[in-house]
Structure 1
């Protein structure tokens, strides 16, 4: 076997490997001999299976294993030439070119190492921003939200038609093609008009009704409706309005303040407003960080700092982005990719620039996190997966195991690290302190 290793840049090395077919067959013989000692095969006792029988039955698999073993030996030899160790490698070596003939197997491999990232004076690149302000209108709206949780509905006093924001008490029965369907009937049902609780068009069609009036409402079920037998069907609902109610907000007295500010000895409206103001301000700040500052700072870091990227990692990220995008391709695009390998390669390579940016940012974030002593524990990753599972009604243990098998957990950890890091950079000190208190 011949191995020639050459350092391309600070983090990548090319390795040319030539393996004779004789070496491959010798390795096949060695693997088959070892397997024959423990293999079970019909017609033979355990340990008595002829090596020739093993090779005859598992020839292709044995050749693949033999080649992989020899490639590993080639990589180890290349690392010695480069004066590196296997622990220095990042990502699996990838085959750039492979040729076979009657005499030998030739391959060009690329092995990659972790880059050294120096972020001198990165603080100067942090974009400036103004602390978010809270308007009286926003504060009043948030206060009203809190009061609504303790509000009650009462019949309206004046005689008028139903309008958006009212609560309607009514009977309804739904029909498709003149026939009633299961789940389409209720009596004295209460619905907030404008809540979008019913299918689109239903609540809007009720506006203008007066108590005691009846009406037929014709609306289509959405095409993606959860019940397949109803999805996309035109339905007619016969309704009768019995009562119009309105939401009556409670008075903000001492008793209610204690419920809105639990744990406070002498709660006041001023104290509530200050608490709500802090809450709104923090929400605005999180939004500003995640939707604007984070992206702007990341783009600046990527553009400002230059270092060699490990090609193995870039190739992996390109594959991930390409596979992720497949679900967005049209049928024509997918057909072209399946039938034309050159087009498939071109399409995949079109993701390479974004992959480079993503990989570069990953190393920058990793180094920034070390500089600022920000980290994410394995327990935090598990909590994030469990939270996602609960949101979608999935089994958290199964989702965690599935993500582990797919190798998704490192990406989740990096995502959490990014969020934590950028919050650490942009969030004012007083906000950080209050966040830590809430976490406790």
Structure 2
């Protein structure tokens, strides 16, 4: 077998493989002899069909099967011989395929990039810290109470915070517009779920009242026909309900799986959950910053095959996130929506992999156990969860991979110039803005 390799770009390779005719004929004849033992052809007893008859009947198909297997086998023989690391499946193009002659094909594929890793020595990294205060705990408890609000019909005018049941229809220039009508719509005043001015205009109305409400749609409204346009909503109030918050008692505590019967015990459990949440959120943000900086200081060419694979995963995640299920074909989502994120993920994966390999890192067993124990704390039977992970190699491997990534982050942070910044609990748990949004905000600040 002869092999020649041409680099057509920094990552793409064209490999020409020539397989001797003798190897092909040997494999074809062996396959034909095997076929002859079971072939059933009129005029011949089973197993007694002459080889030339079998070849005439099955030769073309057998040769294609043999060539398919030879391509697969010789491709991996060739990349091993040439010390190449394919980053995806090859595109195969036969160049010479005449019976009795050497078989030649060209395999085009990408290889993994050669990485000369630069660490974060001297790179400035902001590490956020946050404490859960008593006020944060009180605010969380009030939020939980509001989430379990009971509504009681009120025989009075609506106030901010009340829930109103209304019928409404919107008109622009005297004509009803699409999507502007509803009946029995329930709306909490002050929730800001409607366009500006709509909810405020219902304050003071009581059941049975009707009103023509003049409002203007926002300039950036999703409907171009309505964006920035003045409209009139004809409103009828069917019912006004006042909120009634639940009492802080054992019955309320039990709704959250907390067995504490007194308020102080309940607060302690809520604080513990909040501290766990803020720890995870801050770690996630630090990890994201560190990985972004790692990509910045390491200019890595990313194989298209890996990016395409990551785009497909992001498409699947998007469909699952928005509940599309079987109703949405992920492949219909435009690739460009995910391309930048996919390239970033692939680059991070390559760099982290190189760092793990070069530093010979292994998942720390104690950190793996503590991670699993921390995850198990949120369940009623923690030991069962711990036993499950240690009894399931696949699940355990996933935790080990997370711990290994955390060890990489720790290693990178050790070499970076870290500045700690204290922030509030609310700011800590707030999701980091998407990179596109962050860029837009930066541009707006620069313009100011």
Q: TM-score, normalised by structure 2?
A: 0.50
From 345, 352, 359, the equivalent of 1:361 is 352
Q: What is the aligned residue count?
A: 338
- 5+ residue gaps, structure 1: 7-12, 179-183, 219-223, 225-235, 334-347, 381-409, 428-440
The correspondence of residues 35-114 of structure 1 with structure 2, limited to 5 A, is 35-38=35-38, 47=47, 61-71=61-71, 74=74, 94=90, 99-100=95-96, 103-107=101-105
Is 1:166 the counterpart of 2:157? The answer is no
String of CA shifts for 1:362-411, please: whole Å, max 9, x gaps: 4546877624248999xx9xxxxxxxxxxxxxxxxxxxxxxxxxxxxx9x
In structure 1, the residue matched to 2:275 is 281
SS in 1 for 2:18: strand
User: Offset at 1:153?
Assistant: 2.0
Query: Does the aligned pair in 2 maintain the 1:156–1:244 contact within 8 Å?
Result: yes
Aligned match for 2:139, one of 134, 138, 141? 141
**Greater RCO, 1 or 2 (C-alpha within 8 Å, sep 6+):** 2
Matches within 5 A, 1:258-269: 262-264=258-260, 267-269=262-264
In the alignment, the residues of structure 2 paired with residue 46 and residue 191 of structure 1 have an alpha-carbon distance, to the nearest angstrom, of 81
TM-score for the superposition, normalised by structure 1: 0.50
The 5-angstrom pairing of residues 172-211 of structure 1 reads 192-193=188-189, 204=199, 207-208=202-203, 209-211=205-207
Aligned to 2:243: 247
The residue number in structure 2 matching 1:433 is none
**Structure 1 residue 296 and structure 2 residue 294: aligned?**
no
Cα distance in structure 2, aligned partners of 1:172 and 1:320: 48
In 1: Cα distance, 2:168 partner to 2:91 partner: 67
Secondary structure of the 1:370 match is: coil
Residue 66 to residue 258, structure 1, CA distance change in 2 (3 Å): closer
Helix, strand or coil: the match of 2:206? coil
Q: Please, what is the CA RMSD of the aligned residues?
A: 6.4
Tell me whether 1:317 sits opposite 2:306 in the alignment.
yes
| Kept after mapping to 2: 8 A contact 1:374/1:417 | no
Structure 1 residues 146-167: Cα deviation after superposition (integer angstroms, max 9, x where no partner): 223554223446x43x455322
The CA distance in 2 between the partners of 1:284 and 1:251, in whole Å, is: 27
Deviations 1:205-249 (A, max 9, x none): 98344321246899xxxxx9xxxxxxxxxxx99874343111122
SS in 1 for 2:129: coil
Unmatched 5+ stretches in structure 2:
7-12, 177-181, 215-221, 223-231, 316-330, 373-393, 411-448
